[in-house]
Each structure stands twice: as structure tokens, then as C-alpha cells.
Amino acid sequence: MRLLIVGTLKGQLTTATKIAIDNGASVTHASDHEQAMRVLRGGKGADLLLVDVALDIRDLVMRLEAEHIAVPIVACGIASDARAAVAAIHAGAKEYIPLPPDPELIAAVLAAVANDSRELVYRDEAMAKVVKLAQQIAGSEASVMITGESGTGKEVLARYVHTRSHRAKKPFISINCAAIPEHLLESELFGHEKGAFTGAIARRIGKFEEANGGTLLLDEISEMDVRLQSKLLRAIQERVIDRVGGKTPVPVDIRILATSNRNLQEAVRAGTFREDLLFRLNVVNLKIPALRERPADILELAQHFAKKYAAANGVPLRPLSAEARSVLTTNRWQGNVRELENTIHRAVLMASGDEIGADAILTPEGDRLDQSKTPPAVAHATFAAEQVTRALVGRTVADVERDLILETLKHCLGNRTHAANILGISIRTLRNKLNEYADGGLPITPAGAGEPRAFVSMG
């Protein structure tokens, strides 16, 4: 956790610094906006800015946005200055902390930003095998590819590997390759020199240099443009990077971890991902099973989240009722751990009485989870469509249509009429398509095929 304190904090600087350090943060100080920007451009980086409310926070937010630096701001000021607190939030601060600083409040803010509360909670044997492998390879220098559906906890596992490596005391830097526009991602990764492009008003150190000595997580690596992949491959192979507009290669010492919720072998065949890059990244593969494939984890995680959000919201810790536990264990959790966490957070807020009952286990729309109006087969087909959509690039319409039809049929237990209704096509069209696929040697789910199988992630 890297904290950058900006301003004098009304003489409370020493106290705030000590509290942060006691909670495991590394602290840097900047007297004003200009110095803060120099620190951020220079490679020291920050996970959180603690800013004196007396400074112009809107100006700082605009400076950060102009240089595409994403870091949350928490404002600090004297407790009685309510107007300044409101203005700071409106200007873009995420939170306001009154001074003198309260140790528990600062600790809670630091924990939230540093994701300290995102513990690796598991009980199921399927997940235990993944964790055991992660422990075995954590101390090595091998690149690691972490795969699994969205919401399974890939970044949490990546942090787990880092904290058990020889680089644990060095930076852990994460960059989401899917969240940054293509034309900015190269600069974010490798940095740039002043004047390299419009808006490059000063030298900017990229994530590779910021992670020097530590670990760099390339989150959703499959979304990176294939042209940038070649530059990434050189950086991994030669351990040097070139800043945009730079003339001198810069050596870096980092360990690479990467995540993907797509099938990268398919992406290689489609020409959207370099095979040589995959070989470099996939020295060790940690494949996290979907939550529905590790049922023993559901209640373990649910109890963990219930405790976490009861404390966070200042409400009593209530146990899960037997009916609530039944609802949780029979749900498919298509959004995996992320969906379960959100569901339990809602339940903690909605529950009354001595227990969290089934009536508090709600969908985002407010319906009881076990009485959701969406028929299971429709939900399955929707999920299949989402998975296929993630892998559209480089694939033909016929390929996408085939996968959607076969997945929908599978989860309708082979019922042609039901599948055709969900797909919005006639039963005759469906049968013609299935005959075509069968002639091509593809297996077709027979009618009355039994229980629907879990979705295999297609992306």
C-alpha cells in the first residue's frame, strides 16, 4: 500500500504518517499539486492520495485526468469544516476524513484501498488444489497465467502469489488491459517522454518501471491489441522497455502475472493473440474453478462476507438461517464470488431479526433469489450468449451461431422446442442447423440428456 500525503494537513502530518505506517503503508509527502504530480510521474506511484482539503482538489483531479493517472483521493480537514468536506466530495474526492485523524478510520480507508479485506477464503477441495499449486510456485520467478470466469477471484489469487514470493516487500502493480483505451495502453505500460504525443507535457514512468523489483499483473491480457503484444513480448524476453518517444532502452526487473477469462488457445487460432507471448506467460497456469464447481466454498465465503459487511455497516452480525443457506447452495452463481459477495452485502443490509433469512437473499432488482422470475434455461442461454460475445473478435458469424445454438440446446436438456423458443428461431430451422452440425462430426445433445452441465468458460 503506497500512500502519498499532499499538503500540511493543519499540522497533523506527523500523526497521519505514523498511523499509515503502523498499518503497513509506505508514505511519501508532497507539499502541493506540482510536487505530487512529479512524484506520480516519476515512478514512485501511489495507491491513495491523502490531500489537505485546503488545497484545490478539483484542480488536482483535473491534472490527474489530463495525464490519465488513476488514483483515488481522500480529503482531510478540520472536523467542523462541513462545507469544505462537501466541496471536496463534489470535486472528486472519494472520501473525507476529519482531523485530528482517527486511527481506526484511517486504517479502514487504507484497508479498503489496499484490498486487505479481500482474503483468500476457501474450503472446497477443488480450490484447495489451486491454492496448493499457487503456494508451490509463489517463490519462483516463473510467469503465471491465472484463468477463470469473471468474478472467480483471479486478482485476489495474483496478490496471494505476490505476497508469498521473494518480491513481497516490493510493489504489486496491476493494470487492467481491458479498461484502458488502446491508444493509451502503450503509454500506461511503458511510459512516455515529454512531447512524445499531444498531451505528453512531461516524462511519465509506466507500470513496468513502477513495478521494478516487484510484480506486474496484466489483468485481462487477452484484450490487448495484437500489435502491442509484440512490444510486450520483447519486454518480457529481454527485460528492457522503451518509453513512447524514448531513445534509450530502460532495464526492468519484474515478475509477470497475467489473467484472462477467455480461452487463449482459441484466441491464438483466431489470430488475436500471439502464440509466442502465450508460451512466455503461461509457464504455470492457475485455473480457478467457477464457484458452482466448488460448492463447499459457497457457505464459507457467505459467512466471511456477512461478517465483513456487518462490521463495515455497523450492524449486528447475524448467522445465516437454514433456509438462507439452502438458497445460497442451490443457486448457480453465474457471477461467481463477485455476485455472491454483492448478494450477501444486500442481505446484511436487508435482514431483520436474529438471523439472515431467505427473504433477505435478494437479486439486484429486489426479488427473492429463490423466486427469481427468470426461468433457469433462459438464464443459462443468456449467460451462454455473454460468454460467446466475449470471444467474437476474429470469429465468423457461423461460428458464433453454432456455439450459441449448441450451448442453449445443452442447457435445455436436449429439448428442441424449448431451445428454439429461447433462440427465437423455428423448430425447423433448429433441426436443419443440428443436422448440419451432426454431418460435420459435432456431438449433439440428445433429448432427455439429464441434468444440465456447468458452463465451460468460452472467454
Beta-bridge partner residues of 202: none
- CA distances (Å), 451 to each of 144, 330, 333, 457, in order? 35, 14, 17, 18
Does a structural domain hold residue 454?
no
Does a structural domain hold residue 119?
no
Residues 381 and 366 in one domain: no
Residues 351 and 398 in one domain: no
Residues 344 and 417 in one domain: no
Domain boundary among 330, 350, 371: 371
- CA distances (Å), 161 to each of 19, 117, 145, 235, 383, in order? 27, 16, 11, 22, 30
Summarize the confidence of residues 425-441 as an average pLDDT.
85
Judged against a pLDDT cut of 60, whether residue 386 lies above it is answered with no
Residue with grid cell 467457477, as numbered in its chain: 290
Contact present, 307 and 300 (Cβ < 8 Å)? no
The pLDDT, as a whole number, for residue 111 is 66
Residues 335 and 425 in one domain: no
Residues 131 and 105 in one domain: no
Q: Which amino acid is at 192?
A: H
pLDDT single digits (tens) 48-86? 898 988 899 999 998 888 777 778 888 888 766 677 888
Count of domains for the chain = 4
The pLDDT, as a whole number, for residue 284 is 96
Judged against a pLDDT cut of 90, whether residue 132 lies above it is answered with yes
- In order, the DSSP letters of 229-264 are HHHHHHHHHHSEE--BT-SS-EE---EEEEEESS-H
Q: Which residue has the higher pLDDT, 45 or 385?
A: 45
296-313 and 336-350 helices cross at what angle (nearest 10)?
50
Residues 97 and 237 in one domain: no
Q: How confident is the model at residue 279 (pLDDT cuts 50, 70, 90)?
A: very high
pLDDT single digits (tens) 81-121? 677 888 888 888 888 888 777 777 777 777 666 554 456 89
pLDDT single digits (tens) 12-28? 877 778 888 887 788 89
Residues 157 and 305 in one domain: no
Q: Which amino acid is at 323?
A: E
Domain boundary among 84, 114, 144: 114
Does a structural domain hold residue 82?
yes
Q: Classify each residue of 343-369 as buried b or exposed e, where b means 16 or more C-beta atoms within 10 Å of its C-beta.
A: bbbbbbeebeeeebbbbbbbbeeeeeb
Residues 278 and 141 in one domain: yes
pLDDT single digits (tens) 181-226? 877 888 889 988 888 777 777 888 899 999 999 999 999 999 998 8
Residues in the chain: 459
Domain boundary among 287, 304, 333: 287
Judged against a pLDDT cut of 50, whether residue 304 lies above it is answered with yes
Residues 30 and 155 in one domain: no
Residues 75 and 200 in one domain: no
Beta-bridge partner residues of 29: 5
Residues 271 and 140 in one domain: yes
Does a structural domain hold residue 452?
no
Measured in whole angstroms, the distance separating CA 433 from the mean position of its chain's CA atoms is 38
| CATH code of the domain containing 353 | 1.10.8.60
Average pLDDT, the chain: 84
332: nearest Cα among 293, 385, 288, 387: 293
Does a structural domain hold residue 332?
yes
397-411 and 416-423 helices cross at what angle (nearest 10)?
130
Cell of 203: 516524462
Residues 186 and 224 in one domain: yes
Does a structural domain hold residue 444?
no
| CATH code of the domain containing 241 | 3.40.50.300
Identify the sign of the CA torsion 304, 132, 289, 155: positive
Does a structural domain hold residue 182?
yes
Summarize the confidence of residues 166-181 as an average pLDDT.
89
Supply the range of the domain harboring residue 297: 292-371
> In 3-state terms, what secondary structure has residue 320?
strand
Does a structural domain hold residue 351?
yes
Residue with grid cell 428461431, as numbered in its chain: 425
The pLDDT, as a whole number, for residue 114 is 57
Distance, CA of 20 to CA of 113 (rounded, Å): 12
| CATH code of the domain containing 7 | 3.40.50.2300
Q: How confident is the model at residue 444 (pLDDT cuts 50, 70, 90)?
A: confident
